[in-house]
Amino acid sequence: MLKRLSLKLDRKKFLSRVTKISVFVWLACIFGVFAIIVYVTGIRKELFDKMPTVFVFSLLGLIILGCLAFLVGVISFTTQLIARKAQKKQNIFIFLIKLFFILAILPLYLLIYILRPLEIIRRLRHGGFKELLKSLHLKPILGKIVALILVGVIILPIWIGGYAIIGALVANQLGYITEDINIAGTGSMYPTWEKGTKGKSNKELAKEIVSTAGFLPYPNGIIIGGKRYLGHTLGRGDIVTWENDATRELTSRDGAEPAGLLKRIIGLPGDTIELRDGVVYLNGEPQKEPYIAKPRSTFGEKFLKECQVVTVPQDAVFAMGDNRKGSSDSREIGFAPIKDITHVLPLEKQKGKLDKNWRDTTNDLADTAKPIIDRSRFVELLNEKRKENGATPVKYEPKLDASAKIRGESLLKHNSIQEQTSYDVVSSAMSKAGYWNSYVWEWSLEGYYTAEELVEDYLERDTTDAKNVWFDKKFDDIGIGEVQGELNGCPTQLIVVHAAGYTPPNYEGEDIEFWKTSLSRLREIQPSWKKLKEHKEFYEKNKQDVDRINEIISIRIANISTIVAKMEANQWLSTTEQKMIDQDKPLYDEQKAIATRLNSR
């Protein structure tokens, strides 16, 4: 019996010593850490990234040793508390359960252990408040106050911090901690996020950061038995990021770094998507979208064309930018594979923060929502761009509005908006509108645009050769035609731009010399052919040929005189004068044949 009691006392002494030693080591480590910090920053005047390696390892060693000492001390102290409460030897399994439970709520357990609320209640019941006050003594009260301070100042903050760290680690592992994603200044998600600095190139805008937003990693949650639980389920309106070969090829077109895309989910697996007359049809229903920049602004691209219905596959989503006229997205490169999605910003997390610039969609589906291009504003904005590119300003020409409308009606009538235009075709339309110029250009686009959208969004995003033509220095006049109609049975509006300017013909010297020589020779031979009429007998026999050759020579002299005068003045030939050139060769051949017949008689 004495031997068992001795072993029990020895165990208690051992645990007590371990606790005291651990506390001493812990306090020594704290002192050592502060001493090193004060010495390095206060005396050596160094930052931690520049202090000698010996101090770095010493600091890390003290922190690790202090943490271990604190852990050992807490465990040994908690073991002592359990041992004091135990009346008999405990099963090791039950002991470990008690140890784990008490460690989990140690600050609360210590508060109860120190204050003993049950004992206070018992005394109040038996003797009342006066009896409770008589049982209190100064020394025990001071001891409890010190113990409470230690628990409140040391143990409780450490436990709260520990739970916070564990919670953060678990949340991070489950993907519940947001990551800041940079929003580039390309403007593809305007108005949810602002556009970048006006005047910058697409390459520069891709590098400009206009905002950051907290996105959740995707996929998140936990996988159990091959199934994912507690993770976010993608929904319509969520904003996602994804990257693959298609996005890298798209983003690197303007010389920018290959990257992923950040767009809004419009269609989920199994949904049908159709773009018709500027409106998104989801599963056959027209959508009112408050987050897009303008109503009636969604038009087809390379992958998804107007009035074409596509079904979103089970392993992908259909995503578009909010600034539909300034965004390259699933309409151009196709669906976004779910496996390539890396981050998501759920729709419910956007409300109250990112929806301040969203629109009222009440009249979005009405015809009045279709924008009309303000000609004056368009010319003003275009001239700003032309000035940036070193080109002279153009002026608005209403006759070119008329010619552009003529061409738009023709293109829609023949379902040929992709046809290659020629000078003759465009100048013919201009001629019908009462306009002529030597240098003409035509460009067409489907959709409804404001002046700002046409210049600042589409023109900035245009990667074709046509973009450079907008800044051609030869243009003087410009006009726009907006024609509504149907294309392959699909309602649409076709915007046609006509631009024109004057450039001198700058004829080759050889060409001018050729016509001058021809004119000179005709004038030389004309008198001799006229004299044939003086030979009455010969003239009577060959009257028809003589009259005709003189007529041809007179016509050719008159025509070539006009041609030479225009060429020497470096002026363009009119349509009539161009016909003179075309007619001269047949006239020459006829003249030569008549001359041969007459010379043989």
CATH number at residue 313: 2.10.109.10
201 shares a domain with 66? no
* Residue 88 pLDDT exceeds 70: no
204 shares a domain with 351? yes
Supply the DSSP symbol for 257. Answer: P
164 shares a domain with 59? yes
* Residue 294 pLDDT exceeds 60: yes
pLDDT digits (tens, 9 = 90+) for 428-483: 999 999 999 999 999 888 889 999 888 876 776 555 556 678 889 999 999 999 99
376 shares a domain with 472? yes
* Residue 5 pLDDT exceeds 70: no
Residues of the chain above pLDDT 90, percent:
48
Tell me, yes or no, whether 420 lies in a domain.
Answer: yes
Residue, of 445 and 112, whose pLDDT is higher: 445
Look at phi and psi of residue 168 and say left if phi exceeds 0, alpha if psi is from -120 to 50, else beta: alpha
Instruction: Tell me the CATH number at 393.
Output: 3.40.33.10
537 shares a domain with 496? no
Other Cβ atoms closer than 10 A to 269: 15
pLDDT digits (tens, 9 = 90+) for 185-228: 999 999 999 999 887 877 888 889 999 999 999 998 887 777 87
pLDDT digits (tens, 9 = 90+) for 146-182: 878 887 788 788 888 878 887 777 777 667 788 999 9
Residue 109 confidence (pLDDT): 79
Tell me, yes or no, whether 4 lies in a domain.
Answer: no
* Residue 503 pLDDT exceeds 60: yes
Residue 4 confidence (pLDDT): 46
In angstroms, the CA 217 to CA 173 distance is 10
296 shares a domain with 251? yes
210 shares a domain with 67? no
Q: Do the strands 222-224 and 316-320 form a parallel or antiparallel pair, or are they unpaired?
A: unpaired
Q: 144 is in which domain, residue-wise?
A: 12-171
Q: Torsions phi, psi of 265, nearest 5?
A: -70, 125
- The mean pLDDT of 545-556, rounded to a whole number, is 93
In angstroms, the CA 1 to CA 437 distance is 122
- The mean pLDDT of 37-58, rounded to a whole number, is 73
Tell me, yes or no, whether 6 lies in a domain.
Answer: no
Residue 135 confidence (pLDDT): 67
Residue, of 137 and 233, whose pLDDT is higher: 233
Tell me, yes or no, whether 1 lies in a domain.
Answer: no
184 shares a domain with 140? no
Q: Among 338, 363, 388, where does a domain finish?
A: 363
Q: Which residues contact 187 (CB under 8 A, 6 or more apart)?
A: 194, 195, 196, 205, 323, 326, 457
Q: List 311's β-bridge partners, or say none.
A: 272
Tell me the average pLDDT of the chain.
Answer: 86
Q: Record the pTM.
A: 0.67
Measured CA to CA in angstroms, residue 441 lies from 141, 390, 401, 421, 478 at distances of 97, 19, 13, 9, 9
Residue 146 confidence (pLDDT): 80
190 shares a domain with 46? no
pLDDT band at 316 (very low <50, low <70, confident <90, very high): very high
Owner of token pair 């025990």 = 140
Tell me, yes or no, whether 240 lies in a domain.
Answer: yes
Measured CA to CA in angstroms, residue 193 lies from 211, 271, 358, 375, 404 at distances of 7, 27, 10, 28, 36
Other Cβ atoms closer than 10 A to 405: 20
3-class SS of residue 353:
coil
In angstroms, the CA 550 to CA 529 distance is 6
* Residue 128 pLDDT exceeds 80: no
**565 membership: H or E segment, kind and range:** helix 543-568
Q: Among 339, 363, 387, where does a domain finish?
A: 363
Measured CA to CA in angstroms, residue 418 lies from 49, 414, 434, 470 at distances of 63, 11, 26, 19
Q: Among 501, 517, 533, where does a domain finish?
A: 501
Which range is least confidently modeled, 61-75, 103-117, 247-261, 495-509?
Answer: 103-117
Tell me, yes or no, whether 220 lies in a domain.
Answer: yes
pLDDT band at 90 (very low <50, low <70, confident <90, very high): low
413 shares a domain with 292? no
Residue 37 confidence (pLDDT): 81
- The mean pLDDT of 395-403, rounded to a whole number, is 96
- The mean pLDDT of 507-527, rounded to a whole number, is 93
- The mean pLDDT of 396-409, rounded to a whole number, is 96
Tell me, yes or no, whether 2 lies in a domain.
Answer: no
In angstroms, the CA 510 to CA 72 distance is 104
pLDDT digits (tens, 9 = 90+) for 155-164: 788 888 878 8
Cα-Cα-Cα-Cα torsion 527, 528, 532, 538, nearest 10 degrees, comes to -170
> Domains in the chain: how many in total?
4
Residue 104 confidence (pLDDT): 81
Structure tokens at 255: 């010389």
* Residue 7 pLDDT exceeds 60: no
Residue 139 confidence (pLDDT): 73
329 shares a domain with 217? yes
143 shares a domain with 187? no
Tell me, yes or no, whether 518 lies in a domain.
Answer: yes
Q: Which residues contact 514 (CB under 8 A, 6 or more apart)?
A: none
Going across the sheet that includes 336-337, the strands are 179-184, 209-217, 341-345, 239-242, 261-267, 316-320, 336-337
Residue 2 confidence (pLDDT): 39
Residue 6 confidence (pLDDT): 46
Distance of CA 461 to the CA centre of its chain: 11
Q: Alpha helix locations (H) across 137-211?
A: 138-150, 156-174, 202-207
Residue 419 confidence (pLDDT): 64
pLDDT band at 537 (very low <50, low <70, confident <90, very high): confident
pLDDT band at 97 (very low <50, low <70, confident <90, very high): confident
Residue, of 50 and 17, whose pLDDT is higher: 17
